[in-house]
């Protein structure tokens, strides 16, 4: 951009030098709002902008535990601008299997699939690069809805990233949320094996069976401590959608009741319990400081001003701390 400032809906943002991402559909910049808080601003040429990207982000604006939060939007003469939550962290990678733990990682990624499926949204570009991990809290969020579509507006042509695109997307047939189940399975396969399921989408589209057989072989060579997840992973990357589990079935396979996930999303005490194992002394001086940051993120993602006083007391009692006012 020519200037260090950009105005979106009469709000001025100061652009940083750092470009967070760049691709065929636009550029994502790091910026500060008028309060000095960081945001991410995506600049998209109007001829490449799909209104679904903004629409789908808005669907989660009040429920963005595991989806990047939508903040603002404006369409100008040549470009479209989307303002989103900025996440200080990195793309999902194999180191997070150990840092976060395979159980919590798997559960959070399945929760992402469940949220998408419940709203009949197909992301169609799930891959490690589009899943961001907060450096401090280790919270995981899905980003980039640039290729997404809904059940009533199916893509007319193949899209996504080789190695993560489901076979039915390559064949341009009717889609379901199981296309994203495949992509998430391919993502987990990459994290656990260090390999990409396939690199040549044309070859995979013509004959996926050798790639699947090789992937199964690699999965069975994964560390034995991941065995129960390996079996689920094999089903997630199945060639035919009918052979893949739905997100709800994945909850069942992982022994996670759907109501438990919902409860963790809504109840602040459960939310703290869910993330407290990620407390890292290298980033926080005390568990109190870590909990206070979780509380701030909880308020921000749910767009609420204050936490219920009774809940604050429960947290203080449970962790033997005195929270700041």
Instruction: Tell me the pTM.
Output: 0.83
Average pLDDT of the chain is: 87
The helix (run of H) or strand (run of E) holding residue 117 is: helix 102-118
Amino acid 257: pLDDT: 58
Which has the minimum average pLDDT: 160-164, 267-271, 292-296, 313-317?
A: 267-271
Amino acid 16: pLDDT: 87
Q: Check whether 310 has a pLDDT greater than 70.
A: yes
Give Cβ neighbours of residue 200 (< 8 Å, ≥ 6 apart). Answer: 162
User: Percent of the chain having pLDDT more than 70?
Assistant: 93
Judge whether 49 and 80 are in contact, CB under 8 Å.
Answer: yes
Confidence of residue 250 (pLDDT cuts 50, 70, 90): very high
Mean pLDDT computed over 143-165: 81
CA distance 264 to 273: 9
Confidence of residue 1 (pLDDT cuts 50, 70, 90): very low
Tell me if residue 99 is catalytic. Answer: no
Q: Check whether 2 has a pLDDT greater than 50.
A: no
Catalytic pick from 33, 65, 125, 278? 125
Mutual angle of helices 102-118 and 227-236, in 10-degree steps: 30
Tell me the backbone φ, ψ of residue 306, rounded to 5 degrees.
Answer: -135, 150
CA distance 164 to 196: 8
User: Percent of the chain having pLDDT more than 90?
Assistant: 53
Amino acid 266: pLDDT: 58
Judge whether 57 and 63 are in contact, CB under 8 Å.
Answer: no
In order of start, what are the domains of the chain with their CATH numbers?
A: 13-85 (3.30.200.20), 89-258 (1.10.510.10), 267-319 (no CATH)
Mean pLDDT computed over 11-34: 86
Q: Indicate the Cα dihedral angle 288, 261, 102, 180, nearest 10°.
A: -130
DSSP string for residues in 247-311: HHHHHHHTT--HHHHHHHHH-HHHHHHHHGGG--TTT-SSHHHHHHHHHHHHHHHHT-S---HHH
Mean pLDDT computed over 238-264: 78
Amino acid 137: pLDDT: 92
Which has the minimum average pLDDT: 66-80, 130-144, 153-167, 283-297?
A: 153-167
Amino acid 37: pLDDT: 92
């Amino acid at each position: 951009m020519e200037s260090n400032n950009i105005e979106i809906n009469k709000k001025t943002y100061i652009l940083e030098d750092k470009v967070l991402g760049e691709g065929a559909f636009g550029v994502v910049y790091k910026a500060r709002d008028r309060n000095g808080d960081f945001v991410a601003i995506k600049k998209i040429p109007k001829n490449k902008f799909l209104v679904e990207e903004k629409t789908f982000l808005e669907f989660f604006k009040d429920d963005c535990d595991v989806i990047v939060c939508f903040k603002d939007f404006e369409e100008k003469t040549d470009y479209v601008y989307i303002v989103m939550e900025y996440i200080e962290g990195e793309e999902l990678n194999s180191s997070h299997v150990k840092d976060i733990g395979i159980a919590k990682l798997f559960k959070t990624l399945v929760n992402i699939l469940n949220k998408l499926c419940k709203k009949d949204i197909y992301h169609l570009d799930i891959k490690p690069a589009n899943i961001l991990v907060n450096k401090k809290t280790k919270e995981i969020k899905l980003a980039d809805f640039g290729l997404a579509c809904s059940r009533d507006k199916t893509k007319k042509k193949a899209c996504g990233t080789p190695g993560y695109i489901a076979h039915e997307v390559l064949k341009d047939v009717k889609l379901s949320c199981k296309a994203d189940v495949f992509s998430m399975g391919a993502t987990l396969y990459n994290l656990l094996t260090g390999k990409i399921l396939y690199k040549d989408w044309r070859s995979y589209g013509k004959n996926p069976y050798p790639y699947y057989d090789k992937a199964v072989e690699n999965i069975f060579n994964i560390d034995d401590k991941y065995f129960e997840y390996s079996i689920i992973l094999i089903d997630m990357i199945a060639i035919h959608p009918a052979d893949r589990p739905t997100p709800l079935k994945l909850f069942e396979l992982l022994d996670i009741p759907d109501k438990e996930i919902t409860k963790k999303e809504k109840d602040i005490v459960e939310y703290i319990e869910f993330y407290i194992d990620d407390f890292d002394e290298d980033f926080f001086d005390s568990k109190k400081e870590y909990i206070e940051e979780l509380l701030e993120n909880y308020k921000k993602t749910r767009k609420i001003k204050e936490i219920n006083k009774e809940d604050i007391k429960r947290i203080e009692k449970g962790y033997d701390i005195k929270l700041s006012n």
